[in-house]
């Protein structure tokens, strides 16, 4: 497999510090697909493609729950559902008023809003029942921003309450159930032999397994799901295997799931050596909206997606310089 085309059009020059000679991703088998057959298939595919497994292990649902690994993984959605309390959320008061006919500050003062975790406790229900209440509240729901929703939910025998992104709780419970497990892999390969775009498109396969190349991991799981021990065919949500979308996202995921500091990671060291501050790297790990070298603003993860390590490093440095110049 050959390397992909460069995507560093807006990075005027490569950073002085060279990127790691290999590029590294974080991969895990999702709970619904963490079977011996799937793990064997994943490891076989890596071997065929020249991808080395540097570290692997299993993580239980209770551990994922305690450390909030899955909440951090899906931070943009989860922050509104589980990590932040309503008073910490950037609720646009005008949108809230227009939809619900009352002031957001009044709701806060009267303690009638809860994040999704606290909503379950307050209403005395589990994630599945909260999801049912959320779906039933479709006419009392408003989009407040990207990946940011609020609904007025009602459960028999309880006063109605406002809650945020409650749909995430159902997704979260798949990872945090007492009997849930994932198997993770830290993998490395030579970018001269396999581009990051090929790693995702040909080795992993696209989000929808039904549209994945037959020889990709997701394509194989979709066609052979019964033989591999799955309870049902994979779909766009339960698609079997996750893998990092870029070298930076790989770093962010290792920082989250393995609790690594940037200085303990090859790509993290490259960023630090190229002048990107550790505080910036940590802030970027939750995919913020950032100013770009071309003057636009957008998702940090999207800006670096599918880039090989050298181009990803160069663009990350360029974005960091924009932030530095604007704060000077």
* pLDDT tens for each residue of 94-120: 999 999 999 999 999 999 999 999 999
* Ranges assigned E (strand) in the chain: 23-29, 52-60, 113-114, 141-145, 148-153, 161-164, 181-189, 241-243, 289-291, 297-299
Instruction: Work out the average pLDDT over 207-225.
Output: 97
d(CA 191, CA 199): 10
The answer to whether residue 307 is domain-embedded is: yes
The domain total for the chain is 2
Domain boundary among 173, 195, 223: 173
The answer to whether residue 152 is domain-embedded is: yes
The answer to whether residue 38 is domain-embedded is: no
Q: Which domain holds residue 284?
A: 246-328
The answer to whether residue 264 is domain-embedded is: yes
Of residues 323 and 115, the one with the higher pLDDT is 115
Domain boundary among 131, 148, 173: 173
Total length of the chain? 328
The answer to whether residue 199 is domain-embedded is: no
Instruction: Work out the average pLDDT over 115-138.
Output: 95
Q: For residue 18, what pLDDT is reported? A: 74
Q: In this prediction, what percent of the chain has a pLDDT beyond 70?
A: 94
Weakest mean pLDDT among 107-111, 199-203, 283-287, 321-325: 321-325
The answer to whether residue 309 is domain-embedded is: yes
Q: What's CA 155's distance to the chain center, in Å?
A: 31
Q: How does the average pLDDT of the chain come out, rounded?
A: 93
Q: For residue 116, what pLDDT is reported? A: 96
Would the pLDDT of 170 be above 80? Answer: yes
Instruction: Work out the average pLDDT over 67-88.
Output: 95
pLDDT confidence tier of residue 325, bands split at 50, 70 and 90: confident
Backbone angles phi, psi at 10, to 5 degrees: -95, 10
The answer to whether residue 288 is domain-embedded is: yes
Q: For residue 77, what pLDDT is reported? A: 92
Whole-number Cα distances in Å, 205 to 7, 267, 288: 20, 24, 26
Of residues 20 and 12, the one with the higher pLDDT is 20
pLDDT tens-digit readout, 294-305: 999 989 999 999
Domain boundary among 154, 173, 192: 173
Would the pLDDT of 255 be above 50? Answer: yes
Would the pLDDT of 267 be above 70? Answer: yes
């Amino acid at each position: 497999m050959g390397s992909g085309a460069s995507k560093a059009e807006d990075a005027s020059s490569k950073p002085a510090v060279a990127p790691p000679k290999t590029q590294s991703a974080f991969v895990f088998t999702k709970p619904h697909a963490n079977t011996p057959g799937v793990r064997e298939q994943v490891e076989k595919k890596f071997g065929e493609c020249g991808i080395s497994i540097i570290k692997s292990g299993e993580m239980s649902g209770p551990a994922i729950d305690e450390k909030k690994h899955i909440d951090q993984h899906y931070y943009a959605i989860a922050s509104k559902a589980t990590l932040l309390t309503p008073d910490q959320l950037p609720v646009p008061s005008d949108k809230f008023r227009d939809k619900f006919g009352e002031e957001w500050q009044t709701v806060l003062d009267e303690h009638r809003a809860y994040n999704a975790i606290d909503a379950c406790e307050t209403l005395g229900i589990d994630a599945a029942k909260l999801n049912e209440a959320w779906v039933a509240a479709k006419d009392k729901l408003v989009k407040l921003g990207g990946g940011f929703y609020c609904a007025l939910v009602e459960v028999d025998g309880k006063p109605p309450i406002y809650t945020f992104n409650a749909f995430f709780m159902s997704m979260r419970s798949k990872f945090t159930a007492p009997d849930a497990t994932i198997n993770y892999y830290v993998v490395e390969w030579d970018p001269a032999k396999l581009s990051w775009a090929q790693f995702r498109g040909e080795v992993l396969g696209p989000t929808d397994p039904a549209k994945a190349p037959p020889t990709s991991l997701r394509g194989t799981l979709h066609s052979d799901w019964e033989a591999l021990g799955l309870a049902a065919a994979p779909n766009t949500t339960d698609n079997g295997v996750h893998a990092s979308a870029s070298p930076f996202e790989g770093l962010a995921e290792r920082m989250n799931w393995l609790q690594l500091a940037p200085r303990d990671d090859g790509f993290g060291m490259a960023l630090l050596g190229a002048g990107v501050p550790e505080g910036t790297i940590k802030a970027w790990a939750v995919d913020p909206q950032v100013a770009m070298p071309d003057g636009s603003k957008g998702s940090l993860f999207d800006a670096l997606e599918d880039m090989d390590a050298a181009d990803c490093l160069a663009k990350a440095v360029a974005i960091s310089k924009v932030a530095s110049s604007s704060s000077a």
